[in-house]
Structure 1
Amino acid sequence: MYIFISYIKFLLRSTNQHGVHSPFVYSLVTKCLYDHEKYPSYQKIKKHRKSLMKDKRSIRVNDFGAGSRVFKSDERKISEIAKNVGITPKRARLLNRLVNYLNVKNALELGTSVGLGSAAMAADNKVKVFTIEGCPETSKIAAEKFREFGLNNIELKVGKFMEVLEDKGQWTEDTEKNSKFQIPNSKSVSFNPKQPTTDNSQPTTTHYDLIYIDGNHRKEATLSYFELLLSNVHNDSVMIFDDIHWSQEMEEAWETIKEHPAVKVTIDTFFWGFVFFRREQEKEHFVIRV
């Protein structure tokens, strides 16, 4: 009921491209969010999803987040996870387009699940996707499917989000092995007081063009990820928060993020919240139907 009421409020406040006066956002909406062309990558994403939907194996899921509104047990079929928890086909195509449109080379995902979002970002895009999953059993399935479909530009790590994120050394080391995906430090904008290390004795902070947060749907956790990852963004980065209207506390987290001084542009599409850090723009918030 809460989500239903939130959606009605969203519809009353939302607009399309005709209500957007920012050239950057107008271009993003018309050329990416509203792009209806059918790309070859969509077939790869579809086949990956179909493989998961046909998988009737059961696994025991260790859920570190806010829990599931669908499942009553930790024992779940892979096909049911893909159907009820994974990113929808429409959002998968949008995520794939977004990576291409923004020329994303280095992406971070929190919440791999069975890998639908990771695959969407990676399919036919020149991007290196780093993804973190807390559940060992779920991550095994994701890794299996990545290998099956030749998605070699995805690197999966297993562990609690904060523990993996705070161990920045391992991520930097792995990124340096894929130097063609490395984001130049000169492009970085460090909003975190902890500046990236520039001497040769310690690793520098990895900067991501896109950070997709689809995991723990709690206010405190969401804000913790946001604050921690501010040191990993640059001027043209985008953060995407999933299910910003999941609950009252998630809506509160979204409002807090919007007011942060480092945030310049936000787009509320109801299911996703986009955050941009473009210093050259005035602070603006948009509510767009997608």
Structure 2
Amino acid sequence: MFHIVKSYLNFLWHSKNEHGVHSPFVFSLVTKCFYDKKEYAEYALLKNYRNTLLQNKNTIEVTDFGAGSRVFKSNTRAINQIAKNAGISKKRAELLFRITNYFKPENILEIGTSLGLATSALSLGNPKAKIITLEGCQNTSAIAQKQFENLTLKAEFIVAEFSTYLKPFDFRLSTFDLIYFDGNHSKQATLDYFELLLPTITNETVWIFDDIHWSKDMEEAWKTIKNHPKVTVTIDTFQWGLVFFRKEQPKEHFVIRI
């Protein structure tokens, strides 16, 4: 907890709003997407998705391949408590919707479905997108799939340990316009996924890393990612790190309050 507080104070000290941004690309993203105050009709659907989970008091056995939980002491967890404590927040779900709606990615990969709260934001952000979402836990993925069926949302759900699924594929034959990394908050796993998926990037690709300040190790992973030669622009929003590979952009790193 001390680490998070210290990191957040440091973030506040260095962060800026749109007035401190001189890149036209980033300025447009911040003003037209991050700070967009429009009340989209899809927000009601996101709220409905969340409320359905918050009302579900059934328990499931969770398989956790990642860095573990700071909230749950047992792998037997109530669905409503997972949604409340481990799922993407209402504010972040709406932001993820806006980012997806802004960039209109056609091919999306999500690493870490959980109960599908973020997945629903991706799906609603661009209903025409092809979404692949990976989850290591069969039981949480099953809940998400049921939710999607009930709300007629679309995504391809795959249950597998992430590295087991990713390593056999030749990603040079595929591209992803957006990847949302929210499956394993450890330095080595994050960097492994980063390297494995680099062949899928295009000039327009955006990657979103969750919990970049979750631990000292995750901050080290974020620093390594920022310094990678293929990365040109990064945006630190404290909760998320956004990564761009736009060759026409000078290498710049932004710290933005949202």
The two structures have a TM-score, normalised by structure 2, of: 0.97
For 1:52-201, list aligned pairs within 5 A.
52-123=53-124, 125=126, 126-151=128-153, 153-168=154-169, 196=172
Counterpart of 1:164, as a letter, is Y
Counterpart of 1:241, as a letter, is F
Which runs of 5 or more residues in structure 2 are unaligned? none
Deviations 1:111-170 (A, max 9, x none): 00000000011025222211000011111111111111111x21110010111122437x
User: What CA distance in whole angstroms lies between the structure 1 residues aligned with 2:39 and 2:177?
Assistant: 24
Q: Are residues 1:219 and 2:187 paired?
A: yes
User: What CA distance in whole angstroms lies between the structure 2 residues aligned with 1:59 and 1:78?
Assistant: 7
The equivalent of 1:232 in structure 2 is: 200
Counterpart of 1:161, as a letter, is F
Deviations 1:174-223 (A, max 9, x none): xxxxxxxxxxxxxxxxxxxx8x3xxxxxxxx2211100000110000000
User: What CA distance in whole angstroms lies between the structure 2 residues aligned with 1:103 and 1:139?
Assistant: 25
Q: After the TM superposition, which parts of structure 1 deviate over 6 Å for at least 4 consecutive aligned residues?
A: none
Determine helix, strand or coil for the equivalent of 2:203: strand
The equivalent of 2:46 in structure 1 is: 45
User: What CA distance in whole angstroms lies between the structure 1 residues aligned with 2:18 and 2:54?
Assistant: 35
Which runs of 5 or more residues in structure 1 are unaligned? 170-193, 197-204
Give the superposition deviation at 1:3: 0.4
Determine helix, strand or coil for the equivalent of 1:168: coil
The equivalent of 1:191 in structure 2 is: none
Counterpart of 1:142, as a letter, is A
Counterpart of 1:11, as a letter, is L
User: What CA distance in whole angstroms lies between the structure 2 residues aligned with 1:167 and 1:101?
Assistant: 32
Determine helix, strand or coil for the equivalent of 2:63: coil
Note the aligned Cα RMSD (angstroms): 1.0
User: What CA distance in whole angstroms lies between the structure 1 residues aligned with 2:160 and 2:125?
Assistant: 27
User: What CA distance in whole angstroms lies between the structure 2 residues aligned with 1:103 and 1:78?
Assistant: 31
Counterpart of 1:141, as a letter, is I
Determine helix, strand or coil for the equivalent of 1:261: coil
Determine helix, strand or coil for the equivalent of 2:40: coil
Determine helix, strand or coil for the equivalent of 1:212: strand
The equivalent of 1:281 in structure 2 is: 249
User: What CA distance in whole angstroms lies between the structure 1 residues aligned with 2:35 and 2:55?
Assistant: 30
User: What CA distance in whole angstroms lies between the structure 2 residues aligned with 1:164 and 1:143?
Assistant: 19
Deviations 1:7-63 (A, max 9, x none): 000000000000000000000000000001001111111101111111111001011
Residues 176, 205 of structure 2: 8 Å contact kept? yes
Deviations 1:60-94 (A, max 9, x none): 10110000000000000000000000000000001
The equivalent of 1:4 in structure 2 is: 5
Give the superposition deviation at 1:252: 0.2
User: What CA distance in whole angstroms lies between the structure 2 residues aligned with 1:222 and 1:131?
Assistant: 16
For 1:12-27, list aligned pairs within 5 A.
12-27=13-28
User: What CA distance in whole angstroms lies between the structure 2 residues aligned with 1:124 and 1:276?
Assistant: 19
Determine helix, strand or coil for the equivalent of 1:39: coil
Q: Between Structure 1 and Structure 2, how many residues are aligned?
A: 256
Counterpart of 1:68, as a letter, is S
Deviations 1:222-272 (A, max 9, x none): 000000010111111011000000000000000000000000000000000
Percent of residue pairs bearing the same amino acid type: 56
Aligned match for 1:252, one of 203, 207, 220: 220
The two structures have a TM-score, normalised by structure 1, of: 0.87
Residues 180, 209 of structure 2: 8 Å contact kept? yes
User: What CA distance in whole angstroms lies between the structure 2 residues aligned with 1:206 and 1:78?
Assistant: 34
